[in-house]
Amino acid sequence: MITLAIVIAPPFGIADRLGLVFFGMAISAILHMLARSRVVADERGLTVVNPLRTHRYDWAEVLRVTMVQGDPWPTLDLADGTSVGAMGIQGSEGERARRAITELQALLRERGEAPEPI
Protein backbone atom coordinates (compact mmCIF):
# COMPACT_ATOMS: atom_id res chain seq x y z
CA MET A 1 0.00 0.00 0.00
CA ILE A 2 2.95 2.32 0.60
CA THR A 3 4.19 1.69 -2.94
CA LEU A 4 0.70 2.31 -4.28
CA ALA A 5 0.47 5.56 -2.30
CA ILE A 6 3.75 6.72 -3.84
CA VAL A 7 3.01 5.82 -7.47
CA ILE A 8 -0.71 6.62 -7.58
CA ALA A 9 -1.81 9.12 -10.25
CA PRO A 10 -1.59 12.87 -9.50
CA PRO A 11 -5.33 13.59 -9.07
CA PHE A 12 -5.10 11.81 -5.71
CA GLY A 13 -3.99 14.09 -2.91
CA ILE A 14 -2.01 13.55 0.25
CA ALA A 15 -5.15 12.60 2.22
CA ASP A 16 -5.90 9.83 -0.30
CA ARG A 17 -2.35 8.55 -0.09
CA LEU A 18 -2.37 8.55 3.71
CA GLY A 19 -5.74 6.78 3.61
CA LEU A 20 -4.21 4.00 1.51
CA VAL A 21 -1.32 3.57 3.96
CA PHE A 22 -3.63 3.50 7.00
CA PHE A 23 -5.96 1.04 5.25
CA GLY A 24 -3.01 -1.25 4.56
CA MET A 25 -1.90 -0.99 8.18
CA ALA A 26 -5.41 -1.86 9.41
CA ILE A 27 -5.60 -4.93 7.16
CA SER A 28 -2.13 -6.01 8.34
CA ALA A 29 -3.16 -5.65 11.99
CA ILE A 30 -6.30 -7.75 11.48
CA LEU A 31 -4.39 -10.48 9.64
CA HIS A 32 -1.73 -10.51 12.38
CA MET A 33 -4.39 -10.95 15.08
CA LEU A 34 -5.91 -13.89 13.21
CA ALA A 35 -2.53 -15.50 12.47
CA ARG A 36 -1.44 -15.49 16.12
CA SER A 37 -4.27 -17.87 17.14
CA ARG A 38 -3.01 -21.11 18.67
CA VAL A 39 -3.61 -23.75 21.34
CA VAL A 40 -0.61 -24.77 23.46
CA ALA A 41 -0.69 -27.67 25.92
CA ASP A 42 1.92 -28.07 28.62
CA GLU A 43 2.30 -29.88 31.95
CA ARG A 44 0.14 -27.38 33.85
CA GLY A 45 -2.69 -26.84 31.36
CA LEU A 46 -3.79 -25.16 28.16
CA THR A 47 -3.06 -21.75 26.74
CA VAL A 48 -5.61 -20.62 24.16
CA VAL A 49 -4.56 -17.59 22.12
CA ASN A 50 -7.44 -16.10 20.16
CA PRO A 51 -7.28 -12.86 18.12
CA LEU A 52 -8.02 -10.50 20.99
CA ARG A 53 -7.44 -12.47 24.19
CA THR A 54 -5.17 -15.09 25.67
CA HIS A 55 -6.70 -17.56 28.12
CA ARG A 56 -4.77 -19.84 30.47
CA TYR A 57 -6.57 -22.90 31.89
CA ASP A 58 -5.39 -25.58 34.28
CA TRP A 59 -6.19 -29.13 33.17
CA ALA A 60 -8.87 -29.45 35.87
CA GLU A 61 -10.73 -26.43 34.45
CA VAL A 62 -11.29 -27.97 31.01
CA LEU A 63 -14.03 -30.61 31.00
CA ARG A 64 -14.36 -31.42 27.32
CA VAL A 65 -13.20 -30.50 23.83
CA THR A 66 -15.76 -30.82 21.05
CA MET A 67 -15.80 -30.04 17.37
CA VAL A 68 -18.82 -31.06 15.36
CA GLN A 69 -18.51 -31.54 11.61
CA GLY A 70 -18.77 -28.12 9.99
CA ASP A 71 -17.66 -26.12 13.04
CA PRO A 72 -14.96 -23.55 12.24
CA TRP A 73 -12.99 -24.42 15.42
CA PRO A 74 -13.35 -26.56 18.55
CA THR A 75 -15.11 -25.52 21.72
CA LEU A 76 -13.65 -26.00 25.19
CA ASP A 77 -16.29 -26.64 27.85
CA LEU A 78 -15.07 -25.30 31.17
CA ALA A 79 -15.79 -26.29 34.77
CA ASP A 80 -17.45 -22.92 35.51
CA GLY A 81 -20.17 -23.64 32.91
CA THR A 82 -18.79 -21.43 30.16
CA SER A 83 -17.39 -22.35 26.77
CA VAL A 84 -14.51 -20.88 24.81
CA GLY A 85 -13.65 -21.29 21.14
CA ALA A 86 -10.11 -22.41 20.36
CA MET A 87 -9.44 -20.64 17.07
CA GLY A 88 -5.92 -22.06 16.88
CA ILE A 89 -7.36 -25.31 15.51
CA GLN A 90 -9.21 -24.64 12.27
CA GLY A 91 -11.90 -27.07 11.14
CA SER A 92 -11.06 -26.27 7.52
CA GLU A 93 -7.70 -28.06 7.96
CA GLY A 94 -9.49 -31.42 7.85
CA GLU A 95 -7.28 -34.31 8.97
CA ARG A 96 -4.82 -32.04 10.77
CA ALA A 97 -7.68 -30.57 12.85
CA ARG A 98 -9.06 -34.05 13.67
CA ARG A 99 -5.61 -35.18 14.78
CA ALA A 100 -5.17 -32.08 16.97
CA ILE A 101 -8.59 -32.63 18.59
CA THR A 102 -7.81 -36.31 19.23
CA GLU A 103 -4.47 -35.39 20.84
CA LEU A 104 -6.11 -32.70 22.96
CA GLN A 105 -8.85 -35.10 24.11
CA ALA A 106 -6.22 -37.70 25.04
CA LEU A 107 -4.31 -35.11 27.07
CA LEU A 108 -7.53 -34.13 28.80
CA ARG A 109 -8.25 -37.75 29.76
CA GLU A 110 -4.69 -38.19 30.97
CA ARG A 111 -4.23 -34.95 32.88
CA GLY A 112 -7.68 -33.54 33.55
CA GLU A 113 -10.17 -34.58 36.15
CA ALA A 114 -12.16 -37.36 34.57
CA PRO A 115 -15.92 -37.21 35.23
CA GLU A 116 -17.43 -39.81 37.54
CA PRO A 117 -18.89 -42.79 35.64
CA ILE A 118 -22.68 -42.83 35.71
- Class of domain 37-111 as given by CATH: mainly beta
With a cut of 70, list the residues of the chain below it in pLDDT. Answer: 113-118
Give the pTM: 0.76
8 Å CB contact between 23 and 1? yes
pLDDT of the residue at 112: 77
pLDDT of the residue at 9: 86
Give the H or E element holding residue 89.
Answer: none
pLDDT of the residue at 91: 92
Domain locations in the chain as residue ranges = 2-34, 37-111
Give the H or E element holding residue 55.
Answer: strand 54-58
